[in-house]
Amino acid sequence: MPSSLRFIVPLILVLAAIAYALAPLVDQQTLRWFVRDLDIRSALIANTIEEPLQELLTTGKKARIEGFFNRITQDERLYALGYCSSSGGAMVSSRSLPADVRCSVLERWEAPGEHLLPSGKGPLHIAVKPLVSEVAPAGRLVLVHDMSFVVRRSEETKRYVFFLFMGLAAVISLITVVIAQISWRGWMNGVQSLLRGEGLLRNPAAGTQPGLTEFTPIARDLQRLIRELETESRARDEGQITWSADALRAILHGELRGDDVIVVSNREPYIHQRRGDAIEVQRPASGLVTALEPIMRACSGTWIAHGSGSADREVVDKKDCVAVPPEDPSYQIRRVWLTAEEEAGYYYGFANEGMWPLCHIAHVRPTFRSGDWAQYVTVNRKFAKAVVSEAKTDAPIVLVQDYHFALLPKMIREQLPNATVISFWHIPWPNPESFAICPWREEILAGMLGSSILGFHTQFHCNNFVDTVDRFLEARVDRESFTVSLGGKLTAVRRYPISIAWPPEPEMLEKSVADCRADLRLANDLPPDHRLGTGVDRLDYTKGIVERFRAIERLLELKPEWVGRFSFVQIAAPTRSGIDEYQHHEAQVRTLATRINARFARNGSPPIVLKIEHHGPREVYEYFRAADLCFVSSLHDGMNLVAKEFVAARDDERGVLILSEFTGAARELPEALIVNPYDSDQCAVALHLALSMPEAEQRDRMRLMRGLVAEYNVFRWAGRMLLDAAAMRRRIHLTEKSGVLGS
Ligand code: GDG
């Protein structure tokens, strides 16, 4: 209440001041009203008494007239009456007429209006009315009214106005205090319940606090505002996040606290190999492992993969699991064993002879065999079983990697309908016409649509996928939200461009660029000032190595000044060598290199140095740092991490990237020299441009590309997918909750 007084006292003072200021106005106004009343009253009395007075005047008896006047002035208000004859003489009046009212001064009161005469009792109102008659002498009647009552009334009115304002002040204060108290309590309760997580809006039927319903619209606005602020701050925060392994871990701790996370990929993150008596642990150099390992470490999850190492079986427990990383175990690998037939059919057959060429459109015909398909189905089912047995809850988050597991999402969803399945397709998705040649196209699409979120590197591949679904399945495609609904289940199709870890491991950049340049020229028997280009790829026909060599040949034809002054080192890691197409490809690459070298080698410097063997990651980085240019000429590539690795390796901001327009990376790195690898003349020009590019231009281009790779690194790729999954789970949770409330 003391706080209420702080409000009431000033209010009363203000209203009292208003009443005080109004008092003279009230006086003036009431006086004006009474004078007008007395004017009318005087006229009325004059008219009433005119006739008897004229009769008395004809008699000429003064005493009778005075008596008449005295009788009339018995009236409480009529103070005095007088008569002045036009023919002159003294006034005939009642006894009470003031002495200063004389016939000689009557003119001043003749006009109608406010004629007041001060007296000891209070003001007197004087009215003069002319009397004209044929029977009696003409004259003027003087009517004097007592106005002391006006003063009395005015005092009363002022008192009344004052008390009225005081009453008003009291009522206004009371109402205000009551409303303020109710609102305060209501808001406090509302804020308390909001803090308790109950929300301000409760269904009246479900027990809204009494007296709060009128605040519902305000509460709703408040809630919306809080939501908008949250979203805005999250968006702002995400924009400001410097994505790193630690940032990813911290975000996952916040967003997916306690959630069960499972990764499924064909390749395992740690491979145990037997070397004589010892068991060696190998870590495949893979962007995928770099990206997904922080997630697994943060969530202590399970990574399910094909156990391919020669000592893999020796180190697992009874459930085929092994804790990793070996030096500091924080998550486990669950190994799935495949028979030789399964591996041949599922991996080499359907995945790499069917799906791989199908999706890359690199002019290698896909081979589809029903036997391979059967193994593909079997192996996908085997992995689905492993997922179900490893799930600790009925709603795990499962990250399915790549084209080896197109059927897995649907199989998981059938057995764990509450699971959140995020599938990522690392290779391109072709247009519907190209995809149509797959004999099991409907099964593949339906399998993938078991995912909650389906990710591709580029929007172009997302569009291709949605178009393909639209063409071949009875599904509802929403191009506004980019979702596909099949059998009432929704899949969001999203673009998540993969990248590399940033910053690169410090030991990769330990050796200076100058040392790398000198050492690698020496190691390859090249002069110290020799210009060097490099390419690092798996020996895969989609990488355009043949086209790259043709472009080098064309450069030397068109610009002979580079003959003997420029060499290109191609690191080609053997891959899928059990597949015929890959053997042919290797042979073709070797033959071409030999032919070009025979044509253009000078002074012991071959234009092409072909290294078909696996290199250590440090060695690969050394080549990136030593080279004047890196040439990525993929015929079709989901992203291509080599382009980004070259950029990351060049902390000296030198070196030129020549990049095929058919890579996902080309959409992110426009500062590279973008080429069509099928156009060898254009590629030759790009090579020449790169070799003659001024250092300042190299720096400007490299700086922009490094900025992009730093910002859009692999931790953002993984983080964005998981944040989207977390948001999707929250939304589903809320929908279920409101469904329960609504029912
Ligand atoms: C698929 C998609 C997508 C190569 N040779 C050696 C070696 N490498 C490393 C490179 C790079 C990686 O392998 C190759 O990555 P890419 O992205 O170029 O290509 P794919 O293997 O075809 O991968 C592709 C990727 O998935 C990720 O989503 O970008 O589009 O086709 O890191 O440096 N590493 C070592 N020795 C070698 O001899 N150590």
Question: CATH no. for residue 51?
Answer: 3.30.450.20
Longest dimension (CA), the chain: 164
Cα 285 to averaged position of ligand 1 atoms, centre (Å) = 8
- 451-506 tens-digit pLDDT: 999 999 999 999 999 999 999 999 999 999 999 999 999 999 999 999 999 999 99
**Domain extent at residue 629:** 519-712
436 lines ligand 1 (CB under 6 A): no
Pocket mutation for ligand 1, best pick of 536, 541, 613, 636 (most atoms within 8 Å of C-beta)? 536
Same domain for 574 and 469, yes or no, is no
**Ligand 1 pocket, 559 CB below 6 A?**
no
Residue nearest to atom 15 of ligand 1 (CA): 641
Residue 538 inside a domain? The answer is: yes
How far CA 251 is from CA of 294, 324, 367, 663, 704, in Å, comes to 11, 22, 43, 30, 28
CATH number at residue 594: 3.40.50.2000
Running DSSP on this structure, what letter comes out for residue 425? -
pLDDT of residue 70: 87
Q: Does any ligand 1 atom lie closer than 6 A to the CB of residue 267?
A: no
Neighbours of 598 (CB within 10 A): 9
How many angstroms separate the CA atoms of 110 and 411, rounded?
Answer: 115
Ligand 1 pocket, 495 CB below 6 A? no
Spacing, Cα 652 to ligand 1 middle (Å):
23
Reduce the secondary structure of 541-608 to three states and give it as a string. HHHCHHHHHHHHHHHHHHCHHHCCCEEEEEEEECCCCCCHHHHHHHHHHHHHHHHHHHHHCECCECCE
| 466 and 599 within one domain | no
147 and 278 inside one domain:
no
Calpha distance 412→415 (Å, rounded): 5
Establish if 514 belongs to a structural domain. Answer: no
The residue out of 151, 182, 212 marking a domain boundary is: 151
Task: Give yes or no for residue 497 CB within 6 A of ligand 1.
Answer: no
Does residue 333 lie in a domain region?
yes
Asked if residue 659 is part of any domain, the answer here is: yes
> Same structural domain for residues 433 and 557?
no
Give the C-alpha separation, 421 to 400, whole Å: 7
| 250 within a domain of the structure (yes/no) | no
Using the mean position of ligand 1's atoms as its centre, give its distance from the Cα of residue 642 in Å: 6
- Taken in order 685, 689, 690, 691, the sign of the CA dihedral is positive
CA–centroid distance, residue 412 to ligand 1 (Å): 28
Domain count of the fold of the chain: 3
Q: Are residues 451 and 525 in the same domain?
A: no
What are the backbone dihedrals phi and psi of residue 693, each rounded to the nearest 5 degrees, phi first? Answer: -70, 130
Do 311 and 451 fall into the same domain?
A: yes
Shared-domain flag, residues 536 and 424 = no
Whole-number Å distance between alpha carbons of 106 and 99: 13
- Indicate whether residue 489 lines ligand 1 (CB < 6 A): no
Judge if 324 and 379 occupy the same domain.
yes
Would the CB of 639 count as within 6 Å of ligand 1? yes
Q: What is the pLDDT of residues 147-158, one digit of tens each?
A: 887 777 777 877
Residue 742 lies in a domain: no
User: In the β-sheet with 321-324, what is the strand arrangement from edge to edge?
Assistant: 321-324, 331-336, 302-306, 261-264, 397-401, 420-424, 453-456, 489-495, 483-486, 476-478
Q: Is residue 569 part of a domain?
A: yes
**Shared-domain flag, residues 557 and 464:** no
Structure tokens at 417: 């309908």
d(CA 572, CA 549): 13
Ligand 1 atom closest to 285 (CA): 39
Distance of CA 259 to the CA centre of its chain: 24
Do 611 and 488 have their domain in common?
A: no
- Does residue 544 line the site of ligand 1, with CB under 6 A? no
The gap between the terminal CA atoms of the chain, to the nearest Å, is: 45
- The DSSP line for 670-715 is TTSEEE-TT-HHHHHHHHHHHHT--HHHHHHHHHHHHHHHHHS-HH
Q: pTM of the full predicted structure?
A: 0.71
Q: Is the CB of 614 under 6 A from ligand 1?
A: yes
237 phi and psi, to 5 degrees? Answer: -60, -45
Q: With respect to residue 731, please indicate whether it lies within any of the assigned structural domains.
A: no
Centroid of ligand 1 to alpha carbon of 645 (angstroms): 10
Can you read off the two tokens belonging to residue 712? Answer: 């859009």
Consecutive 10-residue runs of the chain (743 residues): their mean pLDDT? 63 77 79 84 86 82 86 83 84 84 78 63 80 76 84 78 79 79 68 52 39 54 60 58 84 82 96 95 78 83 96 97 94 97 97 97 94 98 98 96 98 97 98 97 98 98 98 96 95 96 93 98 97 97 98 98 98 94 97 98 96 94 98 97 97 98 98 98 98 98 98 93 93 77 50
- Measure the CA–CA gap between 228 and 643, rounded to whole angstroms: 39
Q: How do beta strands 92-93 and 116-117 pair? A: unpaired
668 Cβ below 6 A of ligand 1? no
- On whether both 348 and 489 belong to a single domain, the answer is yes
Residues 269 and 416 occupy one common structural domain: yes
